[in-house]
Amino acid sequence: MTVKKICCIGAGYVGGPTCAVIAYKCPGIQVTIVDLNQARIDAWNSDNLPIYEPGLEDVVFARRGKNLFFSTDVDKAINDADLIFVSVNTPTKKTGMGAGSAADLAYVESATRRIAEVATSSKIVVEKSTVPCRTAQSMRTILEANCRENIRFDILSNPEFLAEGTAITDLFNPDRVLIGALQTEEGLKAQQALVEIYTHWVPIERVITTNLWSSELSKLAANAMLAQRISSINALSAICEATGADVDEVAYACGRDSRIGPKFLKASVGFGGSCFQKDILNLVYLAEQFHLPEVAAYWRQVVIMNEYQKERFVHRIISTLFNTITNKKIAVLGFAFKKDTGDTRESAAITLIKDFIQEHARVHLYDPKVEHAQIYMDLIEPGVADSKAQVEKHLTICSSAYEACQDADAVVVVTEWDEFKDTHLDYQKIYDSMHKPAFIFDGRLILDAPKLRKMGFKVEVIGKHNLAGTA
Ligand code: UDX
Ligand code: ADP
């Protein structure tokens, strides 16, 4: 079959860019992206898109109103479509069975039930959200138990591998597209229909077809392995700080082995983002369910190491600042979980700033893209600061790095935004405006430490031993 109309349920970081690119690359296909969140849809229909992603505006503005539509009319879009992407959120459960590790599938289930209830013709239903292995089976059971007569649903798994900040280039030029299907005649036909959509712009040899369960598990596995590399280099960064080895040099030397490769070996204050931790915990939960405690413990350690890295950095800051940051002004540069995104989910900055607030520091924060309301939402936590007013007592959100650093005792670089590099910011000006001794902590290895030391800064860098002490 040839797909003419696509519906995408969920206009978030995954559904929005992915389906906008499908509309862009397949002008003959009508794509409607729906969401229950009216404000989000209004933003998608405005000049001010709800997510920041380099290149996204060009794609959306080129096709919106032609073959790309954003709407809250979920039922109509479901009914019109031949193929439906389910791209809703699957956060880690906060309460109940599996709390803290299992994925909350309530949104997937409710979207699936909606499809079953309103569909008046057969559909291909594509699982796009990252889900635990065998979720497709549950979706199938729900669809088949609730659908009208003579309607069939074929389920595919098509996990998304885009990374935020590079979503559009990743989608234009993916390493691979993975499509899993039931190995039945109908399943394979549905798989072929989705292959045909992607091959509008992706070379066929980059499209991998597998069975449903391999596809579901591969997404968890890929994210777990990527996060594992970061935790590995971060674990080594602790050894570097203790011994005098330099983590950048170690990463480079290891990465030159073609079997290891250079990517994803950048030590940092810890990985964030909506996927890594969630997907590993998902894998942990899966292993526990199948009575594989050693496997569960193995993967859990990747998350434990990530938490340890953030803790270690906070300790290093406090101990360097003469064991107290009470009432000291700490300038934090960056709140997003990585550069080129306004997304803050699981950002290391959240943990760091909460710790600073608990130590009664005065935090002055600057991030070029994150919305202020989002920052308050992330930082309000019972026991640390119960309300916006309480957060405001400890936190000032600034409109530039210079403003944040004015009169600061220490600067902490948390996100690797290009504009924080010493080639962009005037660190001499920052040094002149700070209290002395002026400390700077580089959690992202983006600064030229020797250059800053020459200016007079006391510099501490993740994964690097400060041979001169704090001098
Ligand atoms: C990740 C996967 O890369 C992507 O394939 C998947 O679809 C979703 O999850 P994302 O979370 O958007 O993408 O960003 P990514 O670039 O992977 O970075 C995740 C975190 O790891 C960030 O906090 C980043 O700063 C950190 N990181 C990344 C490091 O600390 N060191 C590195 O070498 C790479
Ligand atoms: P992701 O990063 O996986 O894209 P987001 O949280 O950014 O996740 O986006 C998921 C979107 O899915 C949210 O905007 C949410 O409102 C939407 N959503 C969740 N459940 C439904 C549903 N049943 N119908 C329509 N939209 C939904």
36 lines ligand 2 (CB under 6 A): yes
Specify the residue with its C-alpha closest to ligand 1, atom 16.
Answer: 163
Pocket test for ligand 1, best of 89, 226, 274, 352 (most atoms within 8 A of CB): 226
DSSP strand E in 21-91: where? 30-34, 68-71, 83-86
Number of other residues whose CB lies within 10 A of the CB of residue 207: 18
Confidence at 148, pLDDT banded by 50, 70, 90: confident
Q: Is 337 in the pocket of ligand 2 (CB under 6 A)?
A: no
395-397: strand order across its sheet = 395-397, 362-366, 329-333, 410-413, 439-442, 458-461
- Per the annotation, does 172 bind a ligand? no
One-letter amino acid at 334 equals G
Q: How far apart are CA 125 and CA 121, in angstroms?
A: 12
| Pocket residue to mutate for ligand 1, from 177, 337, 343, most atoms within 8 A of Cβ | 337
Is 141 marked within a binding site?
no
Element (H, E) at 381: none
| Residue-wise DSSP of 197-257 | HHTTTS-GGGEEEEEHHHHHHHHHHHHHHHHHHHHHHHHHHHHHHHHS-BHHHHHHHHHTS
Kindly report the protein residue whose alpha carbon is nearest to atom 11 of ligand 1: 273
Give burial (CB, 10 Å; 0-12/13-18/19+) of 208. middle
Angle among Cα 233, 365, 265 to the nearest 5 degrees reads 15
Q: What was the pLDDT predicted at 470?
A: 46
Is residue 244 within 8 A of residue 467, CB to CB? The reply is: yes
Structural domains in the chain?
5-202 (3.40.50.720), 245-471 (3.40.50.720)
Q: Ligand 1: which residue has its CA nearest to atom 7?
A: 161
Decide if 398 is catalytic.
no
Q: Distance between CA 200 and CA 398 in Å, rounded? A: 45
Q: Is 345 annotated as a binding residue?
A: yes
Residues 408-467: pLDDT tens digits?
999 999 999 999 999 999 999 999 999 999 999 999 999 999 999 999 999 999 999 875
- Which band of pLDDT confidence, cut at 50, 70 and 90, is reported for residue 161? very high
CA distance 330 to 395: 10
Which among 180, 182, 186, 187 has a CA at the least distance from the CA of 157? 180
> What spacing in Å lies between the alpha carbon of 58 and ligand 1's midpoint?
24
